[in-house]
Amino acid sequence: MPYIINPKGMNKCLGCLTCVTVCAAVNQESHSVAKSAIRIRTTGGMTGSIVAVVCRGCQAPACKEACPAGALLPRPGGGVTLDADLCYGCRKCVPACSVGAVNFDRETQKPIICCHCGICTTFCTHGCIMMTEVREESGHGG
């Protein structure tokens, strides 16, 4: 069964940004928080609640529907994978995602797409984000 990232324990988040660091390091070979597919922010200043902005693994992804190049392909379990050769950087996938989880890479001019590798969950000290097993036919909508 495939897995997707599930940020269901964000009430426990410290805001350490380790998940952001390891995502960018492992998937993009970069120290940059701008290269991470997961983003941690607050609902308004440091006194606000901490939230994770990350791909929710939609079964019918709006980002895929918005892509005119056919560069976003369905991923088993939910979400999409990026065919970088087909992508020409139109950015239509960015506003299409209702949770704002498609990050656009200024350097490569391509979207940064979460591959649900789970490295962020491995380094989450507080169990804020975890991997959830999904049955493809019962996954949530998009």
Partner 1 sequence: MVGEKFIRVLHIDLTAGDIRTEEREDLMPYLGGAGVAAKLLQENFHPGLAPTSPKQPIVFAIGAGTFIFPVLTKVVATFLSPLTGEYGESHAAGRLGMAMLMAGYDAIVITGRSRKPCYLAITDRDVNIREANSIWGLLSEETGRIIRDRENAGGRASGRRSIIRIGPAGENGVAFASVNVDTYRHFGRLGLGAAMGSKHLKGMSVFGERPLPIANPRQYFKVYREIYHKCVFSAGMRKYHDLGTPVNVKSLNKLGAIPTLNLKAGRFEHADDISGEAFAEKNLVRKMACAGCPVGCIHIGMYRHEFDKGQEYEAINVTYDYELIFALGSFLGIRSTDEILAIIQDVEEFGVDAMSVGVCLGWATEALERGIITREQTLTDLRFGHAAGYIKALGYLTRGTNEFYRDLGRGSRFVAEKYGGEDYAMQLGGNEMTGYHTGYAATVGQAVGARHSHLCNAGYSLDQGMKSFDEDKVVDDLFREECDRCMATSLVMCLFARRIYDDQTMLDALGAVGWDLTPEDLVTIGKRIYQTKLQIKRALGFDPRQVRIPKRFFETPTIHGVLDEGTTYRMIGKFADKADALLEEDLS
Return the residues of window 5-24 that contact partner 1 according to CB under 8 A. Answer: 14-18, 21-22
**Contacts of partner 1 in 91-120 (CB under 8 A):** 106-107
Q: Are 132 and 121 in contact (CB under 8 A)?
A: no
Say how far apart CA 88 and CA 96 lie, in whole Å: 16
Dihedral of CA 92/95/98/101: which sign? Answer: positive
Candidates 10, 25, 66, 117: give the one binding partner 1 (CB under 8 A).
Answer: 25
Among 2, 9, 26, 89, binds partner 1 (CB under 8 A): 26
User: What DSSP character marks residue 49?
Assistant: P
- The reply to whether 42 sits near partner 1 by the rule CB under 8 A is yes
| Token digits of residue 133 | 């097993």
What does the block give as tokens for 28?
Answer: 């993009």
Give the interface with partner 1 as residue ranges (CB under 8 A): 14-18, 21-22, 25-26, 29-35, 39-42, 44-47, 106-107, 123, 125-126
